[in-house]
């Protein structure tokens, strides 16, 4: 049975109030930077951190929605981690992300949010599939064993979006970025994704005059998207993308690179001259996740993605400059 809907407050006339959950993470910071550069009229942007509310708790989530009365929501908040954290804490990744997503989406319904765009991940796609993957294939089979807890929790957002749309008419949708990296990333060695982890390892190897040891064979293939590019696309999606079905946000297929190539780019960016080694005793995870951005290109055929090598160099420079204050 549907709950009664609270009357949505008007904030300074009909101005949009855009609230970003997980707003102080890497993607949230990139979006904040993009909004400051655009200086859009008629929009107020709010970037939430964990200090603002525990989004696993419905009461706390309702309170922050009551405080800000958003008209639009970019939902980035999630329990996230690298491959080896996903392998170890599958139940935690499943449960905590389900709680976060349920609280945020239901409050979007209760507070009559005009649009909510949630951020998913390419890890939600089936492990056994054909390539390239596209938006129609999300539920065609089980995800990779290494991160099924996180993957199933994220898949459920697509189910929730459809359910809220069909029952209540809500405009809830989602975007699926490929591997994101950039400034303000998490560089913790035991908890980071590929590029930030390699940057930190390579920095240590140069400092200590030791080889750079990369976990896995280096052969797996990935598409990487710079956080600044993703921010531009997510702001566009919040304003312009009105379909309920998900939208992959990815570089073109011919920009897919191996982990070895990425490690070499990182070494070049740090000016590391030592030996590069690969520890094949460590898991490679899913070998490839090649994603099609054909649907995105129908909307934005001329969008220019950042050059990967230059974006890695920019991230390396930021890491070195901010080394003392980073999560590491």
Closest CA to 298 of 240, 228, 255: 240
Catalytic residue (one of 68, 109, 150, 164): 150
SS (H, E, C) 222-239: ECEEEHHHHHHHHHHHHH
Listed in sequence order, the residues at least 6 apart from 165 whose beta carbon sits closer than 8 Å to its beta carbon are 171, 172, 244
Q: How many angstroms separate the CA atoms of 132 and 254, rounded?
A: 11
Would residue 241 show up in a list of annotated catalytic residues for this protein? no
Handedness of CA 182, 188, 191, 194 (dihedral sign): positive
Mapped onto helix, strand or coil, the DSSP state of residue 133 is strand
Q: How many other CB atoms are there within 10 angstroms of residue 149's CB atom?
A: 22
In the chain, DSSP finds a helix count (H) and a strand count (E) of 10, 12
Contact in structure between 117 and 75 (CB atoms under 8 Å):
yes
Contacts of 239 (CB under 8 A, 6+ apart): none
Residue appearing with tokens 């951190």: 49
Report, as residue numbers or ranges, the catalytic residues.
150
């Amino acid at each position: 049975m549907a709950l009664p809907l609270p009357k949505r407050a008007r904030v300074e006339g009909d101005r949009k109030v855009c609230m970003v959950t997980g707003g102080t993470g890497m993607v949230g910071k990139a979006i904040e930077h993009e909004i400051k550069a655009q200086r859009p009229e008629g929009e107020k942007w709010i970037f939430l951190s964990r200090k603002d509310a525990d989004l696993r708790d419905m009461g706390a989530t309702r309170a922050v929605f009551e405080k800000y009365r958003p008209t639009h929501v970019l939902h980035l908040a999630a329990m996230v981690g690298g491959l080896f954290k996903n392998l170890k804490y599958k139940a935690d990744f499943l449960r905590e992300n389900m709680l976060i997503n349920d609280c945020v989406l239901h409050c979007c319904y209760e507070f009559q949010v005009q649009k909510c765009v949630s951020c998913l991940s390419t890890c939600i796609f089936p492990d056994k599939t054909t390539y390239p993957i596209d938006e129609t294939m999300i539920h065609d089979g089980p995800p990779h064993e290494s991160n099924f807890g996180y993957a199933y929790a994220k898949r459920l957002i697509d189910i929730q979006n459809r359910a809220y749309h069909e029952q209540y008419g809500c405009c809830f949708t989602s975007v699926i970025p490929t591997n994101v990296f950039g400034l303000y990333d998490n560089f913790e060695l035991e908890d980071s994704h590929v590029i930030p982890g390699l940057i930190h390892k390579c920095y240590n190897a140069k400092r200590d005059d030791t080889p750079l040891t990369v976990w896995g064979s280096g052969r797996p293939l990935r598409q990487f998207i710079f956080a600044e590019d993703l921010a531009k696309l997510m702001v566009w999606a919040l304003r312009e993308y009105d379909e309920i079905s998900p939208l992959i946000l990815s570089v073109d297929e011919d920009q897919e690179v191996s982990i070895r190539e990425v490690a070499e780019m990182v070494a070049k960016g740090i000016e590391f001259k030592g030996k590069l080694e690969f520890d094949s005793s460590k898991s490679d995870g899913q070998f490839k996740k090649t994603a099609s951005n054909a649907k995105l290109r129908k909307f934005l055929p001329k969008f220019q993605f950042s050059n990967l090598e230059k974006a890695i160099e920019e991230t390396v420079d930021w890491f070195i400059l901010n080394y003392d204050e980073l999560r590491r």
